[in-house]
Amino acid sequence: MNSLKLSPILKVCLGSRKKLECYRNLFAIDGEMRTNDQDLWIPVVSEYPEVFPEDLPRLPPDREIEFCIDLVPGAQLVSILPYRMAPTEMNELRKQLDDLISKDFIRSSTSP
């Protein structure tokens, strides 16, 4: 398999407006197979590690004013089809959500 350079991959992602989602795919870079997102660090992220911590420290403190969305009794729900997701993406999302729930970063909601 031919080696791919990082810059053409980045240009394809940005040109197709898929952001950096394509980094989750399997690529051969410098002859080495890589599947982990950790292998493809963005240089800006590594320059400012204090801005992008590995683990979030805690939830923000409680504020004087608690914001919420007031629900209208008897209102119809917005009819929108759910987002489709590949099984691998769904598993990754579930893993991240479970991690956030276990760390108490996700709170219960009154939204339907």
Q: Which residues in 1-112 belong to E strands, given as ranges?
A: 27-29, 32-34
Closest CA to 45 of 35, 32, 34, 54: 54
In a domain, 72, yes or no: yes
Q: For residue 13, which of 40, 31, 46 has the smallest C-alpha distance?
A: 40
Question: Phi/psi at 12 (nearest 5 deg)?
Answer: -65, -45
Q: Is the pLDDT at 40 greater than 90, yes or no? A: no
Share of the chain above pLDDT 70, in %: 59
- In whole angstroms, give the CA distance from residue 51 to residue 30: 29
Q: How many domains does the chain have?
A: 1
Domain-located, residue 82: no
Q: Is residue 54 part of a domain?
A: yes
In a domain? residue 103? no
Mean pLDDT calculated for residue range 85-109? 87
Please report how many Cα atoms fall inside a 13 Å half-sphere around the Cα of residue 111, on the Cβ side.
7
Range of the domain at 69: 6-77
Give me the chain's average pLDDT, please: 68
Does the pLDDT of residue 22 top 70, yes or no?
no
- Would 105 be classed as within a structural domain? no
